[in-house]
Structure 1
Amino acid sequence: MTAIIIAIEDYQSGRNGQIPSVDYAKADAEAFSAALDQMFPDNDIHRIELIDSAATSMNVQDGVKEGIHATGPDDLLIFYYAGHGFHNGTSNLITVWDSNGHNLSGTSLNLRALLFDPVEKSPCQRLLAFIDARAEDLEDQFSSRSVVSNMSEIEFKEFVKVDQYVGIFLSCTPGQKSYGHAGLGHGVWSYHLVQALSGKAPDAIDAYSVITDASLRDYLGTSVRRYVTKNMSTAAQQTPLARMSATNRFAICHVKEDDEPVAPENDFTGLSFKPDTTYFSHIETRSYDRLPGFSRSKKHFVPDNVNASSAEFARSLLEEEIAEEIEDYYKEAKRVFRLRRDDIGTGDDTLDTDYFRFWIEVRQTPDDPAEIQIMRCLSVRNDSEENLQDIDEIFGITFDRVVCRIRGRGPDFDSVVRRLEDVEIEYGGTLEESERKQRVTYYFPEKGRLEFDLADGRISICAERKSGFLDILELATPVALGAPQEPIKYLSDDSQRV
């Protein structure tokens, strides 16, 4: 098996005719090369990889010749290209590192002459070509559409008429643009291609654990179009194109079935986010105009948008009430833990001991600026059984949830919904979702619920009502969240893992 992988992200520098870079082309090529090992784990793959400055016109021509020559009648030839491509009115061309914008046709390579004609004349009977070519950027910078236009579908149709095992997959339909996206760190099409070929896209796999030409075509056509529509601020579409020569469907590769057991009930580590701080909490909501001291006669007004100054003013109205609550817990902490004043740190809205930290946050409700949220929060610093009993005595039925903040980028909305849909089918319960608010809630079959607030970066395990501290801990402990290698710790001690 031979794989020719070409990617040009940054073109040769030059004062005149500088070709714009292609975002994520190198990352796409690296991911595609890695996917080959998963597609064909038992095969020796002869790779010819030409990236950026290595992808000169001469090197690309020599590399393709070498690859075709090394491919026998029973072998598979794979060609992958990420860079700028276009149709010059006569032929489909791809750019190389030393192409020049002022003479694109003369300094680019004709795909038919480079690849298709030599393959037809060679013993090679099986070819898969994956071409992520982006023409729009060239059109914008160098020429009119009459000279540089998107790749022509006709030439690909003519080539796949030959009686060979051939599949040609293009990132977009002629007349469209092939997009890259920072959210993926890849070209959208190449990302989904690699997901499919790596066996990570169930929709690309048929009933016999095989990725076929048709299943890959259909998956790319649906997933790429959906991603661009839902995640990118463009009105344009990207619809991948595929042409195959075989009369019947053919297998591209077999996907090894996952030997791991199905995730047990209440195991959500498959979403693989990184947990950050974890604490117990309760959120009380009040109308802005019901806060103590609010008076329209004093020209107080209910805000019509969420902003820092409105939240701060609400905090000032609640200042005396919060101070009294902190003072009450201060007295209880001294009594229960037999502490001295110097053993306790207090602030306007915090209470710190060696055993726990309690604090109160005030903010406007994100969806309703006329409503205020008072959040009481507690993190545990000592998880001994005696300490937990003492904390339960101090705080009683103050909390109704355990909250975990997500470190860095969390799971995307679609992944969460798909996982919870599977859980709902497998174990029961009820699922609610709001893409607009980026919130997903799963109600457990017996009691409690799991809330994903992806806009705020919080995941909560919630009781039906305020409960005792130990009861909340008992509710949360069986629920596995986070990444399998780094699960959430509901208490600060390293031994307390789910």
Structure 2
Amino acid sequence: MKNITNILIFIAVAAGIFYGYKWLKGADFSGNEGNTYAVVVGISDYLNGSDPQSGVQAQLNDLRYCDDDARIFYDFLRSPAGGSVPAENIALLIDNQASKLQIINQMEAFFAKSGPDDRVIFYFAGHGANGFFATYDIDMRNMNTSLKHKEVKEVFRKCRAKTRLCFADACMSGSMKNRAREVVEMKPVPVSVRSFEDEESGLVVLMAARSYQYSSENVSIGHGYFTKFLVDGLQGGADKNKDELVTIKEAFDYLYLHLASLPKSGPEDKGQVPVIFGKYDPDMPVAKLKGAA
């Protein structure tokens, strides 16, 4: 009887360790743990922007593919690899839908639904610079109209989700952590505060470029390089060990390999190298491929 009791105790402890480990891995892109709530933003046509080929003077140039970038990231979330996230759990904001007020309102509304076992995601494609994202209605003469990194971070901080992810395909988006340049004049501006690095917010932030670099778009692929490689990686390209799970480290390594190897257009081209920061487990799954247990 004593031996049987010891065996049962051993089984119970082993099961506890196993399921405890699974719980620590927590909410991921597999969709098997909790729910996902996401706000996906893509802005190509700005209220105060213009086509650079038009010759019209404007506060900033319109972009080409940020709306398409947002749509393929949305499609990824809706796919099995992205967790088959229900459409009602995702706010997709394109161009004039992506005002500062609308983005904040949608983030607050969707993220407030999350619980401890859930994950929340903010994806942004568009202009960015020193401590802010350029929303559709930005007025460069009044920086209170910009979506500041600290405002995004505050929404993340208020939610209850265990997994909090931010992906930004924006020019000089590395300013969320280090240095940046102004959108219009493109002059170096020192940043003394790491505006998006905050352990209290629990964020994992994956950025398109370092603070002194541009996030590039490409006509032949019809997307920004960062988003195209990100989605390709999450759909399986980044699964280096072939275990049918893509971890956050595998996703970053895949992005780094492809972005750092892009050919430079000239001596002024400083290249494009992705940035990742935050407090996270490098083995945290961010995509689950077909057949993964």
- TM-score tier by shorter-chain length is 0.7 to 0.9
Cα deviation for residue 109 of structure 1 reads 1.1
What residue in structure 2 maps to residue 220 of structure 1?
255
Give runs of aligned pairs for residues 356-371 of structure 1, distance below 5 A. Answer: none
Kept in 1, the 8 Å contact 2:165–2:204? The answer is yes
What residue in structure 2 maps to residue 94 of structure 1?
133
Task: State the Cα deviation string for residues 57-77 of structure 1 (Å, max 9, x = none).
Answer: 211111111121122211111
Mark the runs of 5 or more structure 2 residues left unpaired by the alignment.
Answer: 1-35, 50-55, 174-179
Q: Secondary structure at the match of 1:217?
A: helix
Give runs of aligned pairs for residues 146-165 of structure 1, distance below 5 A. Answer: 146=188, 154-156=194-196, 158-159=197-198, 161-162=199-200, 164=202
Q: Secondary structure at the match of 1:2?
A: strand
What residue in structure 1 maps to residue 104 of structure 2?
61
What residue in structure 1 maps to residue 128 of structure 2?
85
Cα deviation for residue 43 of structure 1 reads 4.2
Give runs of aligned pairs for residues 201-212 of structure 1, distance below 5 A. Answer: 201=237, 203-212=238-247
The percentage of counterpart residues that share the same residue type is 24
What residue in structure 1 maps to residue 214 of structure 2?
177
Task: State the Cα deviation string for residues 355-380 of structure 1 (Å, max 9, x = none).
Answer: xxxxxxxxxxxxxxxxxxxxxxxxxx
Give runs of aligned pairs for residues 235-254 of structure 1, distance below 5 A. Answer: 235-247=269-281, 249-254=283-288
Higher Cα Rg, which structure: 1
Cα deviation for residue 129 of structure 1 reads 0.8
Equivalent-residue separation in structure 1 for 2:48 and 2:148 (angstroms): 22
Q: Secondary structure at the match of 1:142?
A: coil
Cα deviation for residue 174 of structure 1 reads 1.3
Task: State the Cα deviation string for residues 354-410 of structure 1 (Å, max 9, x = none).
Answer: xxxxxxxxxxxxxxxxxxxxxxxxxxxxxxxxxxxxxxxxxxxxxxxxxxxxxxxxx
Name whichever of 13-22 and 178-187 sits farther off: 13-22
Equivalent-residue separation in structure 1 for 2:205 and 2:150 (angstroms): 13
Cα deviation for residue 183 of structure 1 reads 1.4
Change in CA separation of 1:247 and 1:49 when aligned onto 2, cut-off 3 Å: closer
AA partner of residue 239 (structure 1): V
AA partner of residue 107 (structure 1): T
Change in CA separation of 1:155 and 1:81 when aligned onto 2, cut-off 3 Å: same
AA partner of residue 259 (structure 2): V
Kept in 1, the 8 Å contact 2:156–2:201? The answer is no
Q: Secondary structure at the match of 1:197?
A: helix
Q: Secondary structure at the match of 1:101?
A: coil
The structure carrying a bigger strand percent of its residues is 1
Change in CA separation of 1:152 and 1:233 when aligned onto 2, cut-off 3 Å: farther
Q: Secondary structure at the match of 1:70?
A: coil
Alignment match of 1:134 (pick from 155, 168, 171): 171
What residue in structure 2 maps to residue 233 of structure 1?
265
TM-score when normalising by structure 2: 0.73
Equivalent-residue separation in structure 2 for 1:224 and 1:146 (angstroms): 23
Equivalent-residue separation in structure 2 for 1:155 and 1:18 (angstroms): 24
Equivalent-residue separation in structure 2 for 1:144 and 1:237 (angstroms): 16
Cα deviation for residue 29 of structure 1 reads 0.7
Change in CA separation of 1:135 and 1:214 when aligned onto 2, cut-off 3 Å: closer
Task: State the Cα deviation string for residues 277-328 of structure 1 (Å, max 9, x = none).
Answer: xxxxxxxxxxxxxxxxxxxxxxxxxxxxxxxxxxxxxxxxxxxxxxxxxxxx
Alignment match of 1:36 (pick from 65, 73, 77): 77
Runs of 4+ with >6 A deviation: none
Give runs of aligned pairs for residues 266-285 of structure 1, distance below 5 A. Answer: none
What residue in structure 2 maps to residue 108 of structure 1?
146
AA partner of residue 65 (structure 1): E
Equivalent-residue separation in structure 2 for 1:117 and 1:207 (angstroms): 37
Equivalent-residue separation in structure 2 for 1:177 and 1:65 (angstroms): 29
Equivalenced residues, count: 241
Kept in 2, the 8 Å contact 1:16–1:102? The answer is no
Q: Secondary structure at the match of 1:173?
A: coil
What residue in structure 2 maps to residue 5 of structure 1?
40
What residue in structure 2 maps to residue 320 of structure 1?
none
Equivalent-residue separation in structure 2 for 1:153 and 1:249 (angstroms): 29
Cα deviation for residue 162 of structure 1 reads 3.9
Mark the runs of 5 or more structure 1 residues left unpaired by the alignment.
Answer: 259-498
AA partner of residue 66 (structure 2): A
AA partner of residue 187 (structure 2): R
Change in CA separation of 1:183 and 1:246 when aligned onto 2, cut-off 3 Å: same
Kept in 2, the 8 Å contact 1:213–1:244? The answer is no
Equivalent-residue separation in structure 1 for 2:222 and 2:192 (angstroms): 28
Kept in 1, the 8 Å contact 2:65–2:222? The answer is yes
Which has the bigger relative contact order, CA under 8 A and spacing at least 6? 2
Equivalent-residue separation in structure 1 for 2:137 and 2:181 (angstroms): 18
Equivalent-residue separation in structure 1 for 2:192 and 2:124 (angstroms): 16
Kept in 2, the 8 Å contact 1:25–1:186? The answer is yes
AA partner of residue 101 (structure 1): M
Q: Secondary structure at the match of 1:253?
A: strand
